[in-house]
Structures are given as structure tokens and as C-alpha cells.
Amino acid sequence: MHSHPTNALSVVPLDAVDAADAARVGGKAANLGELKKAGFKIPDGFVVIGEPGEELARALPSLGSGPLAVRSSAVAEDLADASFAGQYETFLNVQGLEQLRKAIADCRSSASSARVGSYRANRAEAAPIEIAVLVQRMVAAESAGVAFTANPVTGDRSEVSISAVRGLGERLVSGEAQGDQWVVREGNRCRSPSRPCSRTGCSNRSAAASAAELGLTQVC
């Protein structure tokens, strides 16, 4: 029987995980591993499962000396009826081993917060509580955002709905900034934003169409 590397390690390279590991590394890390295997430009990283010990110090140099992003990859995330979006803590621009250890611990402990407990009780009481932590190299993004591969308002799967802001996407998902809205239909036909693209929003129609293509839609 084939044994996945995640079975023995507490720090697992993102290159080594795939969909079969979701119950251990969480859906977010498992999906990113699949995307890396498919050739997408996913920032290098690793998944921390449990207490990493000295493995963390050995793994950190593989990501270089730049800043890191530390995020949750919980088993109970992006479920059919409960996304847990924004419930767990995210830490950006983490530098060095000590900051990384603290960010991992704080990210993991956020799974026990009152906010997550309330959400779980109301939306996903039977969902697993296990949480892994995803560590990746930070990207110096010109713009970032969220793309839905089906229109979240109408359910139309021939449309990709995109919200984007200049810089890091954290400002958008935290509610700090209002993103520009794009809807891309099959054939790269873009519906104009709900308001003119501003200095805080996405760059242009071409960027929106490219994002839609990355969503694996039928945009051609």
C-alpha cells in the first residue's frame, strides 16, 4: 500500500501533498498541492501538522529569507454548507523562526476562539476540529482578490465573479477595503465594474479575464 509522506512528518512540503491528504493537511493545503502538481504558479511553502519541533527550523531555510504568510488549513474549511471564511487568524509578513513559531501557535489557537465556536455551533456542529497551518512565501502582489467560478448571486456557472483590490487581498477579505467588481462570461466578455476602477481596485479587463481563466472556467 502506498504511504503518503504526510503520515510521518509534522512539517510537509507543499509539493508533497495532494487531495488524498485533505483529512490530515486540510482542504486548502491539499488543493494548493494539487495546483502545484498541475503546473500553476503557487508560492513555495509547507504545512505544519501538530507540534513541529526541530522540523520547523530545518524546513524554514527552504523558503528563503523573505517574509511569510501563515494561514489556517483546517479540515472543517470550505465545506458545502459552511466555509469558515475569515474565522481563523491569518498572519502576514512573518519574519524569522521565532515570529513563525508564534504565528503558527496563534493561528492554531484561533480554532478554539469564541468566534469559531459560535460559527461551528450555528453552521457546522459536527465538523472536525483538526487544524493544520499553511506557511508560504509572501507574494508582492500588484493586485489581488477573490474569484468565484460560479456567480455567487445567480448561480450561473458560465460566469466568473471577481472582486479585487490593489496590493494584498487581505484588505478585501477582512472588509477593510471595498474591491472593484468584475463579471467575466464565456468568451472573455467582461461586464463593466459596478463602479469605475480606482487606485484601490483591479487593474483592467485583461487582468480580470486572466483571473477567470485561472478559475478553470470555459473562458476562451
Question: pLDDT digits over 15-26, tens only?
Answer: 999 999 988 998
CA 131 – CA 109 distance, rounded (Å):
9
User: Are 11 and 108 contained in the same domain?
Assistant: yes
DSSP label at residue 177:
S
Q: Is 208 exposed, middle or buried (0-12, 13-18, 19+ CB in 10 A)?
A: buried
Compute CA distances 77 → 25, 42, 56, whole Å.
11, 20, 24
Q: In terms of Cα–Cα distance, which of 214, 158, 208 is closest to 179?
A: 208
Q: Which amino acid is present at 157?
A: R
Tally of structural domains, the chain? 2
Q: If pLDDT is split at 50, 70 and 90, which confidence band does 211 have?
A: low
Are 150 and 186 in contact by the 8 Å Cβ rule? The answer is no
User: Are 102 and 198 contained in the same domain?
Assistant: no
User: Are 21 and 110 contained in the same domain?
Assistant: yes
How confident is the model over 147-202, as pLDDT tens digits? 888 888 888 888 888 888 888 888 887 778 888 888 887 665 555 445 444 434 44
Q: Which amino acid is present at 181?
A: Q
Domain holding 163, by residue range, is 143-214
Name the average pLDDT for the chain: 77
Read off the pTM: 0.75
User: Are 26 and 132 contained in the same domain?
Assistant: yes
Please indicate, yes or no, if residue 219 is contained in any of the structural domains: no
How confident is the model over 67-102, as pLDDT tens digits? 999 998 877 665 555 455 566 788 999 999 999 999
**Exposed e or buried b for every residue in 147-170, given b needs 16+ CB within 10 A?**
beeeeeeeeeeebbbbbbbbebbb
Mean of the pLDDT values across residues 48-69? 92
Domain CATH code at residue 13:
3.30.1490.20
Q: In terms of Cα–Cα distance, which of 173, 166, 114, 125 is closest to 144?
A: 166
User: Are 40 and 126 contained in the same domain?
Assistant: yes
